[in-house]
Amino acid sequence: MAPTEADRTFAGSIPQLYERYMVPMIFAPYAEDMCRRVVARQPRAVLEIACGTGAVTRQLAAALPATTAITATDLNQAMLEHAIAQGTGRPVTWRQADAQQLPFPDDAFDLVVCQFGAMFFPDKRQAYAEARRVLRPGGAFLFSVWDRIEENEFADVINQALIKAYPADPPAFMARTPHGYCDTALIAQQLLAAGFAQPPAFETVTARSRAPSAGTVATAYCQGTPWLGEIEARRTPTVAEATSLAQAALVERFGDGAVEGRIQAHVVTVDN
């Protein structure tokens, strides 16, 4: 399933809820992992694409030497502005940019990094070709994509709850886009088609997603992602009702109080 234009819309209240709930719950563990991989390569200049609200950016700013230039970009101005407002402990160059048309010269960066953004690129081969273009010889492209939704327990439980809530037309954002691009053979094929000469390396990384309550998880997914727009468009059940149904399904699966579930992703490394 290909992403829709609405899948790429992170606006309104979404950036705030995304940062407040989604980042600590599912993105922070992978941001730490990605940062370790970047630091190990000792880059002089790093480009981050699809930086969102800056989960990886803040990690890089704290861990990389001050001499390493960091440029962070995102397609969504609202997400970028929220990332800037969070601040970093050292200068970062922030810029609105489409990954498919990067506004940078050839051979400008040692590393291009992208955490959970590739799934949203309409033309993935073109985005990968752009990443390769701005990489210096000997550089590398590091990015991550979520594994299938069944391997990510919170998302899967809520997805099933929403299928039951809207049987005639289930909101399919999470299965379609965040968890809809996990075929490693396809990813490898697209990277080679984009001009990378070396086959990519894949590592499947499993972590634990934790939240203080099922209600926090339900709010995060139903109101802090583009699932919100799909739910609003269906009107009945309302967003509040859908969130409550998702919460009930999570309580049934994980119990009351603090909850935790498995999350799983593929980390991809391809050398230029």
pLDDT at 15: 85
Tell me if the bond preceding 237 is cis, omega within 30° of 0: yes
pLDDT one-digit tens code per residue, 171-195: 999 999 999 999 999 999 999 999 9
123: number of Cβ within 10 Å: 12
pLDDT at 12: 83
With beta carbons less than 8 A apart as the criterion, state whether 107 and 134 touch: yes
Sign of the Cα pseudo-torsion (172, 83, 131, 11, in order): positive
Rounded to an integer, the average pLDDT of 61-68 is: 97
How far is residue 225's CA from residue 221's CA, in Å, rounded to a whole number? 6
The band of 6, judged by pLDDT with boundaries at 50, 70 and 90, is: low
Q: Angle CA(106)–CA(60)–CA(202) in degrees, nearest 5? A: 70
DSSP states of 162-210 = HHHHSTTS---HHHHTTTS---HHHHHHHHHHTT--SPPEEEEEEEEEE
Percent of the chain whose predicted confidence (pLDDT) is above 90: 93
The band of 3, judged by pLDDT with boundaries at 50, 70 and 90, is: confident
Q: Is 32 helix (H, G, I), strand (E, B) or coil?
A: helix
pLDDT at 98: 97
Extents of the domains making up the chain:
6-271
pLDDT one-digit tens code per residue, 70-95: 999 999 999 999 999 999 989 999 99
pLDDT one-digit tens code per residue, 27-36: 999 999 999 9
Please provide residue 76's backbone torsions phi and psi, each rounded to the nearest 5 degrees: -90, 115
pLDDT at 2: 63
Residues 6+ apart with CB under 8 A from 85: none
Second-level CATH architecture of 6-271: 3-Layer(aba) Sandwich (3.40)
Is pLDDT at 4 greater than 90 in this prediction? no
267: number of Cβ within 10 Å: 18
Sign of the Cα pseudo-torsion (17, 174, 207, 255, in order): positive
Residue type, 243: T
Across the chain, what does the average pLDDT equal? 95
